[in-house]
Structure 1
Amino acid sequence: MDYEKNFWAHMTLDDLIDEDASKALVIIEHIAKKDGSEFALANLAAGPLETLLSKHGEALIDNIKISVKSNSELKSALGLIWKNNIPGNVWDAIQKIR
């Protein structure tokens, strides 16, 4: 199964979100740009992107606002996230840019 074979990548990105949120954002941006399929974007949105925004959204929201100007796939992924534990002010900012 591809899922089982590639699960290490998910775990590595999850660890990176805690260790270096800015670098994790860059990787998420690259993944979105590289594979803008609905499947890939939905998985980014429901996993690493929501986690990143929940934990570090306040520190990264300005970078995200800049990134979506040249990365329409990232903007699409933002449209697929759910609020869950994302802080209210970060969620409000996301609503304005998606």
Structure 2
Amino acid sequence: MTPSLSDISDAWFAFHRAHDESGDYAHRTNAGEEFFWVIEYLGDVARHEPQACWDAISFIWARTDENDMARLASLAAGPLEDLLASHGEIILPWIEQMCLTKPRFKILLRGVWQNAIAANVWDRINQLSSPTDHA
């Protein structure tokens, strides 16, 4: 059974909150292990179901306080980076649209590292995430 976007988001925040409460920001303990399924789930859908992953990322992002840099960094350097590495060409139009309609999305893009993202996709991400770019 596929989890709902609310279930995914709730588990995402619960996993990170458990690590915050334990003081384990490097995720080296078993804090929040009952919610670890969401990390595995997002990794899997990033590779195999780009739309499902994008929907989850967008939902989590919309529920994240724009000043919560730890959560934004985790979302950017985790599922979003994985999704871009696996399906960058497919999701670039979605990202471009998000940057046009919700410019604060650029903050999330700035937390992505190139990793295995194709050079042409990475170049466009850099353009989109620029504070002076108007997408």
Fold match by TM threshold 0.5: yes
Q: How does 1:24-63 map to 2 (within 5 A)?
A: 24-36=53-65, 37-63=68-94
- Partners of 2:89 and 2:109 lie apart in 1 by 15
Residue of structure 2 in register with 1:76 after alignment: 107
Q: 1:7 aligns with which of 36, 40, 49?
A: 36
- Partners of 2:71 and 2:127 lie apart in 1 by 23
- The structure that has the greater radius of gyration is 2
Contact 2:47–2:82, Cα closer than 8 Å, also in 1: no
Q: Residues 30-72 of structure 1: CA distance to partner in whole angstroms, max 9, x if unpaired?
A: 1111013211110011111111000100111011100122334
- Partners of 1:19 and 1:51 lie apart in 2 by 11
Identity %: 33
Provide closer, same or farther for how the CA distance between residues 17 and 49 of structure 1 changes in structure 2, counting only shifts above 3 A: same
Gaps of 5+ in 2: 1-14, 19-31, 130-135
**Normalization by structure 2: what TM-score?**
0.66
Ranked by relative contact order (alpha carbons within 8 Å, sequence separation 6 or more), the top structure is: 1
Contact 1:32–1:73, Cα closer than 8 Å, also in 2: no
RMSD of aligned residue pairs (Cα, Å): 1.6
Instruction: Looking at secondary structure, tell me which structure has more helix per residue.
Output: 1
Gaps of 5+ in 1: none
- Give the letter for the 1:31 counterpart: I
- Partners of 2:105 and 2:34 lie apart in 1 by 25
- Partners of 1:40 and 1:93 lie apart in 2 by 23
- Partners of 2:52 and 2:104 lie apart in 1 by 18
Matched pairs, number = 98
More displaced, 31-40 or 71-80?
71-80
| Misfit runs of 4+, over 6 Å | none
